[in-house]
Structure 1
Amino acid sequence: MCAVISKTRTALTALGLVISGTAAQSEVTCTERSFDGLAYTACEVDPRTDVLRLFLDAPSGEKFGQFSSIDNTLQDENKVLAFAMNAGMYHDDRAPVGLYIEDGQEIMRVIPNAGPGNFGLLPNGVFCIRENRADVIETLTYAATPPECRHATQSGPMLVIDGDLHPRFLADSTSRYVRNGVGTSEDGSRVVFVISDQAVTFHEFGRIFRDDLGLPQALFFDGSVSRLHVPQLGRSDFGRWMGPIVGVVEPLDR
């Protein structure tokens, strides 16, 4: 087990934050895996059966910001957060940088043009959750013919586009960060969220989606704030406050 996960679990246990009970029955499949000698945690979700959605604003009007805040709200509805991950870049006030749709309501419009930072490193993309499927869609393709997304978040850059790595990724890059993102299958039935458990390059991170997981489309979420909530692994990262969060909701008593 890598040091990052071990330290996280130790801290959570000390604070009494590890969630138990329903985690063992979760239908989300999360595994710690190695690819090219690098450590990752991958969580596979089936959008045909799992309740996959985005979270931003709490009932109070404030941003959720932490996994525990979402879980506390869900428990009032006899539900639990079975899996979660930060899902896209955000401004200082934690508002989404690009497109954000929640429960069918567009809160922020799509940004189609290039810009500074990783978000503007085109091609970037949109993660779209819709009826019985979820897809990573390149931004200009999305903008040309927007599908009916119940939930959607824009981020960038794309990691894998139609089976190819982003053209700006360099195999010999020395820029390494803990990174997280999502990949989807062609038919939208398979969704895999991945976080690196050590610092990796964009090229290395893109390759786990394409060459290890076999996913033709993948999108980068972040490399400054990369966080994961997986009760079944005894893991719930905490630290800096987050903006958009993606998660799977299950009945509390499953």
Structure 2
Amino acid sequence: MRAADGLFSLIAGAALALLPGLARADCTDITFDAIPFTLCDVAAGDDLRLFLNGEDGAVHGSFARIEAALAARGEVLVFAMNAGMYHPDRRPVGLYVQDGEELRGIVTSAGPGNFGMLPNGVFCIREAGFAVIESRAFAAAAPACLHATQSGPMLVIDGELHPRFLPDSDSTLLRNGVGVSADGQRAVFAISNRPVTFHQFGRLFRDHLALPQALYFDGNVSRLHVPGQGRSDWGRPMGPVIGLVRAGPAGG
């Protein structure tokens, strides 16, 4: 993280700390199977958005740049995390919808890497709530999404773990993703605070959170930003970012 980015995040965190009733994220640290995770809950109707490019067309790339863009409109970023895989130029690998506009089309073919480990899926923010939908089902009957990001693999599919997850895998990374309740009224964003396997991460959503659908975001650039709690993970520039927005001091 650049020094200027870090300073902006510290200032934003201090401002949020003075506004506990206005912009607190419902993010909590939990332990599941002796593994530490952070969970952030969002309810249908909350102002959850995807972010990629600024008004100048350049990729935001950092939490601080998103915060600066929101601050100019009297808004604050309550929490955020990276939200889907991207190419070296930070273009999304798969489907990407922002403010109702499709900027990248859906990819339904198998391929290399985690994204291509079918079934993969789409996280969709709708007027009435949230959904995680398997990519081919989404392509066959796409719902209207205000925001949507495709990633993979699916972690939980109709209450079952992805069939390729191995209990004895030795592939561990910091991982993040999202799960959605059966009624679509709750989305839970999770990040592991130490390296975990796919199987362990999927079980968090299935066994601890009892969420029937869950989607993997990434395991190489997993980062969480919760300024009101003094957390802002640093790392290389990101592509798509998802964040909860609320009115700041200027917006009342």
User: Structure 2 length as normaliser, TM-score?
Assistant: 0.93
Matched, 1:184 2:180: yes
- Read off the aligned partner of 1:138 and give its amino acid letter: E
Residue number in structure 1 paired with 2:56: 60
Matched, 1:33 2:25: no
Residue number in structure 1 paired with 2:132: 136
Residue number in structure 2 paired with 1:217: 213
Write out per-residue CA displacement over residues 27-68 of structure 1, whole angstroms, 9 at most, x where no aligned residue.
Answer: 5310000000000000000122x1001000011110000000
Distance 1:217 1:165 in 2: 9
Distance 1:16 1:182 in 2: 27
SS at match of 1:20: helix
Counterparts in 2 of 1:27 and 1:167: CA distance versus 1, 3 Å: same
Q: CA deviation at 1:20?
A: 2.2
Runs ≥4 in structure 1, deviation > 6 angstroms?
none
Write out aligned runs for 1:92-103 (5 A): 92-103=88-99
Residue number in structure 1 paired with 2:141: 145
Q: CA deviation at 1:215?
A: 0.4
Write out aligned runs for 1:95-244 (5 A): 95-244=91-240
- Read off the aligned partner of 2:44 and give its amino acid letter: P
Residue number in structure 2 paired with 1:250: 246
Residue number in structure 2 paired with 1:21: 15
Structure 1 residue runs of 5 or longer lacking an equivalent are: 1-7
Write out per-residue CA displacement over residues 136-173 of structure 1, whole angstroms, 9 at most, x where no aligned residue.
Answer: 11111111110000100000000000000000000000
Distance 1:41 1:172 in 2: 23
Does the CA-based 8 Å contact 2:25-2:226 persist in structure 1? no
How many pairs align? Answer: 243
- Of all paired residues, the percent bearing the same amino acid is 57
Q: CA RMSD in A?
A: 1.7
Structure 2 residue runs of 5 or longer lacking an equivalent are: none
Write out per-residue CA displacement over residues 171-213 of structure 1, whole angstroms, 9 at most, x where no aligned residue.
Answer: 0000000000000001110100000000000000000011001
Write out per-residue CA displacement over residues 206-230 of structure 1, whole angstroms, 9 at most, x where no aligned residue.
Answer: 0001100110000000001001111
User: Structure 1 length as normaliser, TM-score?
Assistant: 0.92
